Amino acid sequence: MNLSTPDSTHSGNPPARAKRPGKPQETAEPTAIGVASVTQLVDKLSEYLTPVELKKVKEAYRFSDEMHLGQVRKSGEPYISHPIAVAEICAEWKLDAQAIMAALLHDVIEDQDVKKEELIERFGPQVANLVDGLSKLEKIEFQSLVEAQAENFRKMLLAMASDVRVILIKLADRLHNMRTLGVMVPAKKRRIAGETMEVYVPIAHRLGLNNIYRELQDLAFSHLYPLRYRTLSKAVKAARGNRREVVKKILEAVKQTLAMAGIHAEVYGREKTLFGIYKKMRNKHLSFSQVLDVYGFRVVVDSIPNCYVALGTLHGLYKPMPGKFKDYIAIRKINGYQSLHTTLIGPYGTPVEFQIRTQDMHRTAESGVAAHWLYKTGDQNMSDLQQRTHAWLQSLLDIQQQTGDSAEFLEHVKVDLFPDSVYVFTPKSKIIALPRGATALDFAYSIHTGIGDHCVAVKINNETQPLRTELHNGDIVEIVTDPNSRPSPTWLNYVRTGKARSAIRHHLRTVNVNESVELGQELLAQALAARGIQPELPAATIDKVLAESSAKSMEELYADIGIGKRMPALVARHIFGLMEGETDVLPSSAPLAGDIDPVTIYGSEGVSVQLAPCCLPIPGDQIVGQLRRDQGLVVHTADCLPAKRLRAKEPDRWIAVQWGEELNRRFDCRIRLLINNEKGILARVAAEIGESDGNITYVGMDEDDENMMTQLRFTIQVKDRVHLAHLIRNLRRVAGVNRVERERA
């Protein structure tokens, strides 16, 4: 089939060839796609492409049509209708000819076994690279569906990092698939909808593609929760008629007031999406009527100064609600979004939300990076939005270089795809956007990996704060570094961004490898002993283990166990399964669990063994060990409440540990004192701790005005439980001290 255009019989038409194997074919007849949709695509492209570019697009269409000849979609439509629809969505963003060609060809490698080299020869390397970035890795065998999906996402996101058009085409592809998802079986609909909500919706939001973001959200919602979607949809339609009079009254009043102020503006009502309504009801525990009682309007003006004039005019018309104003023009969102947001008390006492923006801001708000996208040009030619997008895409490459596997890479990227952000300042007033909940340490890594690795302290608003301090909008953050400082495994407990997490894990993986190997060897020996297997494995078994675990050597396998990447119990179980047929190497009976030696802890180990910060165990405490991914062995007290909760969830990650005999170091411990608020008491307490051979590393104070008491909190260093008991007894004798106790998690 040819395009209905004058040059459809151009000599550049590909010669007829045998149809390639692909998805199930139901007919060998030529496709019969409706001319209207093809014509519509050509009309859209003619608005901004040159005749030469349009000719190349037509050649790509003819090739795609030939490759998909006879192939049909689940709905029964000719398959070529899908690439055309994807290209139409891309044409709405006015993407260039190469992107449109890639949209038309995006399934030929995956479905029809067309080689990348053939695409390079026919359409050039850039088009071929785009198509390759969009193609799944179906020729590689993966151990699980999850691993395959993660590797596909990684390939797509890394291709996106070098050319943002990859993700724009992929989002257009996903949007059309979601629009036509109804023909799939329920289980597949839920899987695809869940994947869309988890990955593609946040990416669309991160790139500022709000139209796509909202539509994908609602489509995914309709397939994940069809009953809730239908119920809300009916309720919104029923409520729409009742709201019409109020909306009309507000519109007329706003237009008249702005006109009187000499402001030319477009004003229109803004309806919430169904998923937006559902999310607000669920998160804020509101009824449907409470959510629908808030009216939304958008005011589009011609300049930034008029945004603020319009704001003042509206505040004169209706009373503003305190604390409900946000200036996203002065400090734009991380995805480039700009607007003034305000909530006013409208007629009948109903809340009215207004978004005030310019035409340029409106285009960016709806289409994000696709509104004026740019690729492979110098930073001096980039808009602020493009620079932000470029910086985020580059961070994907940083994470890729530091990440061990595809699942971990995807985990880090998902962390950075949350829509809510906080905006903080460097001492030189540069704005840094971070995910909500980010800490000062995340800020350090957002500046540079080297800054994060050597971070020792932070000043927030000129006050020294712990590295774990959560940041808030408007904070001024200054990082203090030390070239001798190194990342601590405990940092993983409170960093929020994927970049920080991957950088810390990369450091922990690459330092103290020997220590990780030794710990892993000890842990595996313990797990093998539990199954009655000697730690010295036969050569044949070792070869099988390495072949099936993808580890290059036993040292690498031990290191993975030592940092918590692999579970010793699961590795031992796998080895036991391999050896079941080798009766000559298996003992006649396994030892009793009580005969298995626990792992010995000396407290002086490096990053592979840590004392849990929640309970700070000291020698003499009953202890247990938890294997945490990329943190190695974390030691808790046996009565630690957080540890008990974690143990109930993942019992396989816990092992027996014990203190060693010779412990030539001191251990941190927290104590709490309730004292009379009187002169000199702190000096007396500190002196007694010193005389009891204790070392103070931290002191904090909480006052209780009602009881005229003060609560002191110390972190002190002691040798063991006996030393701590002696110190506490001495503190209880200090005048003014009412109570002393060890602080527990």
Residue numbers annotated as active site: 110-111
State the Cα–Cα distance between residues 58 and 622, nearest whole angstrom.
74
Name the DSSP class of 196: I
- On the 0-12 / 13-18 / 19+ scale of CB atoms within 10 A, 662 is exposed
| Cβ atoms within 10 Å, residue 73 | 16
Asked if 689 and 731 touch (Cβ cutoff 8 Å), the reply is yes
Asked if 716 and 689 touch (Cβ cutoff 8 Å), the reply is yes
Segments in 124-209 forming alpha helices (H): 125-134, 145-162, 165-179, 186-195, 201-206
Copy the structure tokens of residue 657: 């540990």
Q: Is the sign of the CA dihedral 727, 730, 734, 736 positive or negative?
A: positive
Let me know the angle formed at the C-alpha of 671 by 666 and 674, rounded to the nearest 5 degrees: 155
Percent of residues in the chain assigned helix, strand, coil, to nearest 5: 50, 15, 35
Q: Which residue, 743, 674, 659, is CA-closest to 711?
A: 674
Asked if 445 and 394 touch (Cβ cutoff 8 Å), the reply is no
Asked if 97 and 56 touch (Cβ cutoff 8 Å), the reply is yes
State the Cα–Cα distance between residues 258 and 409, nearest whole angstrom.
50
State the Cα–Cα distance between residues 397 and 374, nearest whole angstrom.
19
Instruction: State how far the alpha carbon of 592 is from the alpha carbons of 531, 537, 596, 597, in Å.
Output: 9, 20, 7, 11
Q: Is the sign of the CA dihedral 355, 276, 223, 111 positive or negative?
A: positive
